[in-house]
Amino acid sequence: MKHLSIVALAALLLVPSVAWGFNCPVVIKQAEDMIKRAESKVTPETKPLIDEAKKQLAEAKAHHERDGEGEEGSRRRHPQGEGRLRIRRGSGDPAGAIGSLAAFAGQVVLITGASSGIGAALAREFARQGADLVLAARRTARLQTLAAGIERSGRRALVVACDVTADGDLEHAVARARDRFGRLDVAVANAGVGVVGPVESLTVADYRRQFETNVFGVLRTIYAVLPELKKVRGRLVILGSVSGWVASPGSSPYSMSKFAVRGLAEALGHELAPSGIAVTLISPGFVDSEIRRVDNEGRFHETEPEPIPAWLVVPTDKAARHIVRAVARRRREAVITGHGKVVVFLQRHAPWLVAWVIRRFGVRSRSEPRRRG
């Protein structure tokens, strides 16, 4: 019931300005879905909030219909890098050519953590958009299966065993990419883990383990790929999280790491602009992933149930399409999932409300998967 109260409060604040600021049809549809689910288990506490949310949504829809779809609002920032080409809504390449011309045709994309979840889905989506792939992760058997599927689609894929916490592994992956393809156009620093728990139950070693992958692993990736990206004025993609905007109790290691990479991405966006490199921070909400079934020691619990309600979890292929579109547009940041956009908007403009909701309704991070044996 706590989830439903929070949903109602979030939907309540989806005023027309939110719809105008964030791809209106997507946000409105997400809010409508949230309200329908909240209505299915309405309580005296949530009913007034739901009624007010429905009223506000009606205003947002009327606002959208008056203004038409057009561009995504006057606050849209110009794309980074050269050309400053305009992109039509719903397309991921200049002049809206996606569908007739692949957005990444002839380009080479390196993805860390490509063996599952968002990384694997991104590999398939980049391949669909014409790219050749360098697949880097520790679980090479999974990478081989992924690579076989990509090659059946007509693109090339190189599998490289890589641990982002090991010095030299990323340089080796980039060298392999250069030897095989002769270039590198896009690098996606996707590998990550999630350490969770109350601070009093954790140790400094837990925080260090979290940062070794999620922060220093990203840095190792950046140092390895920058020389190649500078040659082609390429794209650097850093996977952050909505948890890099809002931290909940029990998530301090993970949130700290994602706050850190958000700051890193912002600084690098300025630093690398003269080189023509676009830096895109991706901040997903809840996306279908194995990360929530991995314990603090990095062990995967295959039978552990998904702790997040299914209706809040976005399929990886859908998330990958939105991410690749943002990368093609050379966006500075893309918040993925409708609920993620709502949360980030509220944190930006009404942080006091977010804090009140977290404390009033006892919002907490997920628990660590159970360790057996």
Beta-carbon count within 10 A of 215 CB: 18
Q: Which residue has the tokens 């279908």?
A: 288
* Residue spans of beta strands (DSSP E) within the chain: 108-112, 132-137, 157-161, 186-189, 235-239, 278-284, 333-336
**98 exposed, middle or buried (CB, 10 Å; 0-12, 13-18, 19+)?**
buried
- HSE, CB side, 13 Å, CA atoms: give it for residue 102: 15
Per-residue b or e along 38-50, where b marks 16 or more CB atoms closer than 10 Å to that residue's CB = bbeeeeeebeebb
* 3-state DSSP assignment of residue 158: strand
Catalytic residue among 20, 104, 254, 345: 254
Taken in order 61, 322, 325, 21, the sign of the CA dihedral is positive
For residues 92 and 123, what is the distance between their CA atoms, to the nearest angstrom?
16
- The C-alpha angle with vertex 225 and arms to 275 and 210, in degrees rounded to 5, equals 115
For residues 131 and 123, what is the distance between their CA atoms, to the nearest angstrom?
9
Tokens of 178: 């250069």
Query: Terminal CA-to-CA distance of the chain, rounded, Å?
Result: 33
- The C-alpha angle with vertex 38 and arms to 33 and 41, in degrees rounded to 5, equals 140
Taken in order 359, 360, 365, 370, the sign of the CA dihedral is positive
**329 exposed, middle or buried (CB, 10 Å; 0-12, 13-18, 19+)?**
buried
* 223 in active site: no
* 3-state DSSP assignment of residue 139: coil
**325 exposed, middle or buried (CB, 10 Å; 0-12, 13-18, 19+)?**
buried
Residues belonging to the active site: 254
